[in-house]
Structure 1
Amino acid sequence: MTTRRFFNEELQQLKLEVEGLAEDTKNVLSTSVDALYNSDLKTAQRIIDEDHVYNEKEQHINDSALIMIAKQQPVASDLRRLIAAIKISSDLERMADHGKNIAKATLFLGDDHPISVHPTIRKMMENAVSMVDIATKGYHNEDISFAKLLAEKDDKVDELYGQVTKDLLELTANNPDQIQYIMQTAYTARYIERFADHLTNIGESILYLVKGVSYDLNE
């Protein structure tokens, strides 16, 4: 096997690992939000216990990319592919952390809390999950059109977050005795909003990968 062919296979394997981590983060978010609505403390605890898995996957991706840079000394598009893998895996690991934080909020609320979880939180989650699919396709195909879609979807998540925040502030004013519970759902909405923000970062990494120039999708 030629050195170039071996390097290409390593690049492809690295891409598959990044895409696998993206799928993991999507599952963490959807599962944590389901656990929140269902007061499923067992599932919430499992999400927290499994967080180290995603940290280890990110570290493996980073180590693999750095070894490839050191051994192969790639330039141009190949170097950008390796840098993008490192940057994207970092965002994905942080996204998994936000899912873990939602699970922690679920444990705090317990299985007998006095409030209903705001229905728009699920809508936020569904939009964020769709963003993961968009980001994965953009990364896999090295297609910047998907990156631009992420900015549009992020605006929608921000809009929903604004609605949730407004409603929860009003609920807090009328139910001061329940503020600690209401704030946990507010935190959850914030975690999803941050999850989506990381996906715009991934969109920027895709743009860098393809164009070789840094962009700010939040402008």
Structure 2
Amino acid sequence: MRSKFDEQLSELNQQMIEMGNKIVSNIKMAIEALVSRDVDKARAIMESDEEIDHLQKVIEGICFNLLIQQQPVARDLRTVTAAMKMVTDMERIGDHAADISEMTILMGENSQIDKFRHIQEMANETMIMLFNSIEAYVEKDVDKAGEVIEHDDVVDDLFVQAKKDVIQLILNSPEEGEEATDILLIAKFFERIGDHATNIAEWVIFSLKNSETM
């Protein structure tokens, strides 16, 4: 009975890693498409979001089977519960990669995104947070997860600066108001990605710290 549970738990871990790698890849590509104004790459990211949705369903299916069929003990229950929570945040990050890509397409090749340094910094910092949160899960590293949580303040500060940049653009060039709104929305998507990466890190800590006491 336990060997069957361990087998399914191992499959859960592998699927989580696959989904984590996929969303990291999509966010990286979304940033590249945004900065380079690559509309074709942005479309490819939007199309690939279905794969992330599929992985979420696969992982949720494994989790439900573990809960219903295997009746896990407290330690394992926390592991499965954390995985179900993390996969929700991971799927939403994938959605935001698609959202950013959609905005890239809407703004087109004449976008002024390259003038917004703080948004590009936000993109880089959220990428670091996301990568480290997934790595913390894979490596079962509580300290790395804690660093992700602390790093969220950096992204929040950059979001404040990005809003100021957008306001300045509107004041200086009112005719650019529509694009300014689009750029602010992109900044908000990155801020939310940071929040979801923080959530993933918090669930990693929940899972590991409670495991250590069992």
Asked if 2 retains the 8 angstrom alpha-carbon contact of 1:124 and 1:161, the reply is: yes
Q: Which moved more, 1:129-138 or 1:197-206?
A: 129-138
* Number of the residue aligned with 1:169: 167
Pairwise mapping of residues 189-204 of structure 1 onto structure 2 (< 5 A)? 189-204=187-202
Instruction: Note the C-alpha offset of 1:142.
Output: 2.8
When residues 133 and 105 of structure 1 are mapped into structure 2, their CA distance, relative to the original with a 3 A threshold, is: same
Q: Which moved more, 1:56-65 or 1:120-129?
A: 120-129
* Number of the residue aligned with 1:11: 9
Pairwise mapping of residues 110-121 of structure 1 onto structure 2 (< 5 A)? 110-113=108-111, 116-121=114-119
Query: Over residues 128-172 of structure 1, what are the superposed CA-to-partner deviations in whole Å (9 max), with x where a residue is unaligned?
Result: 121122212321233322221112111111111111111111111
How far apart are the structure 1 equivalents of 2:7 and 2:96? 32
Q: What is the SS of the residue equivalent to 1:22?
A: helix
Asked if 2 retains the 8 angstrom alpha-carbon contact of 1:51 and 1:100, the reply is: yes
TM-score between both structures, scaled by the size of structure 2: 0.92
Query: Over residues 35-64 of structure 1, what are the superposed CA-to-partner deviations in whole Å (9 max), with x where a residue is unaligned?
Result: 112111111111111211111111110011
Bigger share in helix: 2
* Number of the residue aligned with 2:33: 35
Query: Over residues 76-100 of structure 1, what are the superposed CA-to-partner deviations in whole Å (9 max), with x where a residue is unaligned?
Result: 1111111111111110000011111
* Number of the residue aligned with 2:102: 104
Identity within the alignment, % = 28
Asked if 1 retains the 8 angstrom alpha-carbon contact of 2:49 and 2:98, the reply is: yes
Amino acid at match of 2:146: K
Pairwise mapping of residues 119-198 of structure 1 onto structure 2 (< 5 A)? 119-198=117-196
Pairwise mapping of residues 65-80 of structure 1 onto structure 2 (< 5 A)? 65-80=63-78
The count of residues paired between Structure 1 and Structure 2 equals 211
TM-score between both structures, scaled by the size of structure 1: 0.90
Asked if 2 retains the 8 angstrom alpha-carbon contact of 1:142 and 1:209, the reply is: no
Amino acid at match of 2:206: Y
When residues 65 and 14 of structure 1 are mapped into structure 2, their CA distance, relative to the original with a 3 A threshold, is: same
Asked if 1 retains the 8 angstrom alpha-carbon contact of 2:100 and 2:186, the reply is: yes
Amino acid at match of 1:170: Q
Instruction: Note the C-alpha offset of 1:24.
Output: 1.2
Structure 2, gaps ≥5 residues long: none
How much is the aligned-residue C-alpha RMSD, in angstroms?
Answer: 1.7
